[in-house]
Amino acid sequence: MGFRKRSKKNKNKKNPSQQRDPNERGPSYSEIVRENQDFENYYKGQKVCPEEEWDGMLKALRSDLPTGFRITSYPKYEAEALLSLVESVYFKDLMASKDDDAVAKKPFCLPWYPDRLGWQIQLSRNDIRKSEIYSRLHNFLISETEGGNISRQEVVSMIPPILLDVQAHHKVLDMCAAPGSKTAQLIERLHTTSSKEVPDGVVVANDIDNNRCYMLVHQAKRLNSPCTIVTNHDASIMPNFFIENPDKTTSVMKFDRVLCDVPCTGDGTMRKNPDIWTKWNAANGNNLHGVQIRILKRGLEMLAIGGRLVYSTCSLNPIEDEAVIHRLLSEAEDSVRLVDVTSMLPGLKFSHGMTHWLPASKDITFYKNFEEVPEKWHSTVRPVMFPPKPEDISKYNLERCIRILPHLQDTGGFFVAVLEKLKPLPWEAQLKITNDATTNDTEQESSQAPVIEKRRPNKRIKLGFKEDPFVFFKDNEEVWSSISEFYDIKNDDIVPKCLLTRCEVGKKKNIYLCSPFVRQIIANNQKRIKIINSGVKVFVRCDNRSMGCSFRVAQEGLLNIQSIFGEKRILETNKEDFIKILQHNDPNHPLPTTELDPETQKVFERIGIGSIIIKLIDEKLPIHLVGWKGNCSIRAYITVLDSTHYLRILGQDVSKFETNKFKKPETVEDTKTLESNENAEQNDMETETTTS
């Protein structure tokens, strides 16, 4: 995770060549001079790569980052259909080209990403956006990303969630989660490893920044999972979660998997964020070391024995990487071990973790031991930052860490370490557990932690919006009887007890679904943990007098509850009718029922007016959609993005939804589509550049 805070000291500094008219915006990334002598001196001195590779690494860092994306892995049948479409249609011309330049820029499947769902295109975002040749691919990426079916993500940042090896029953904590690309992978994994519509596990996604939590909510909502909770806390002093035991007592919940993608200097992202060249200095990594170790230690405290934690940064700096891991292993003694996970990443080119490095002061003076450090640097260069003694190197297995350098396979820079908890940490017995929070080693770190770090959690909560409560359905919930009768719903272990609203009084507007385990977590922790969001929308108020029920089904949550509906409100269709309905989701131009197949019309006649579920009879693509049945018409009650997506994977022409910005729009609709695509891309770029 990059630490994207702009310092007041440097915000107005520019090279003479970058001076602009005061009425214009600041220098664009293309105008930034990608040079920093301190950066070069520091990493040459650290020997982060062999000397003969240094020029190649520097050249890679100065070039634009290729485009990476991954296909959302569930539902599996949609992922497979989209993958086939990507390879056979959108990459067809690129793959078949014999032009030397085009051959060098061909897209390729990431060999280490599961099920061929991760890809890299040897073109920067600017190349794709500015070239008419790639306009169709550009439209496709924008549309499917906005719909949640594809995520554009730097390829190296896809690695930590893979190494966590999440299973359907796991309790997963993402400690510094915003903006949410890795969180999305964790949620996907929870679902793809489950045989149930609603997995037993949970993903808790946390971030210290209240505003970034809402960015995180947006990312998580694209996946429509009832197994996700978004919280707003300082990860270094994250409070415990309590759960109820079978004997009605409560205990602290431990997580099976923890992701610590910690705040860092982010110099591994220089290819994507060139402004780091102008701000980089050696003190930045030293200053973040204390924050990083506190988050890591708190993550291990919240981890169950036998559980796995992944520590990652997008920094090349050993002070933020191996020094943090070495310090943790030294203090944790034999309660934690580094795991060799290289077999989980077939085909990935990487360097092993460093076993020797040299802490340095801001003036790029290196020190072999703390005794050499001048007193004026004692607050930033500390004894715990030095490498293990030569005779102790083998004890820590630091070579099991993974360093990904930009020149090895044309990526960003990244660091990953995987830890397994073998037994309670030496200091865990001394922790005092209260109903409000769990104290950790903050007192031990007080000499290096700025006062603001200790005050920040309370300050953030006070400044953040007051969240609406989570109100679960009662046993005799008034609205539920009419909903269950209208849709012929059979109650099960999840519905209706796991339905909730966000209002205590007044009319219920939206009804959400969460998993039974998420329900328990919220019920036991809502008053002591700041929960920003949870649940997926399944019903929406729709006061239509003709319908006979006050709530329509929401497309967002249909995948999680489609099996609970009886035949009363389900319209089964063949592929031809299904496509016709998708092409008529405009409420002003629904599909006349006379255009449906006669057999479909018979089924249609027995269903009353209102919200329905439209089911495609197809073994390979058993798609379910929310629809609306009128007196003599029908339409899909979904967004244009969703209808475009389904038409794509069903092999239909969607060119009317794709406007070539290199050609003048011919109609008002073309102009609106172009503006919509540009806005979607801008939102995606802002999300991605906030942090890796």
Which sequence positions are flagged as catalytic? 314
Give the whole-angstrom CA distance, residue 70 versus residue 172.
Answer: 21
Nearest CA to 347 among 71, 107, 110, 106? Answer: 110
Please report the beta strands in 471-621, taking only residues with DSSP state E, as ranges in sequence order: 471-472, 499-501, 510-513, 531-534, 536-541, 551-553, 570-573, 591-592, 610-616
At position 560, the amino acid (one-letter code) is: N
Instruction: Provide the 8-state DSSP code for 623.
Output: -
Side by side, the strands of the sheet bearing 67-71 are 108-109, 118-121, 67-71, 150-152
Give one DSSP letter per residue of 225-284, joined into a string. Answer: -TTEEEE---GGGPPPPEEE-TTS-EEEPPEEEEEEE--B--GGGTTT-TTHHHH--HHH
Please give the angle made by the CA atoms of 155, 157 and 161, to the nearest 5 degrees: 115
Tokens of 437: 């929070």
Nearest CA to 623 among 638, 601, 634, 610? Answer: 638
Its sign, for the CA torsion 81, 346, 422, 291, is: negative
Classify residue 497 as exposed, middle or buried by CB count within 10 Å of its CB (0-12, 13-18, 19+).
middle
DSSP run (H or E) holding 647: helix 640-649
Nearest CA to 313 among 385, 275, 354, 264? Answer: 264
Give the whole-angstrom CA distance, residue 294 versus residue 274.
Answer: 29
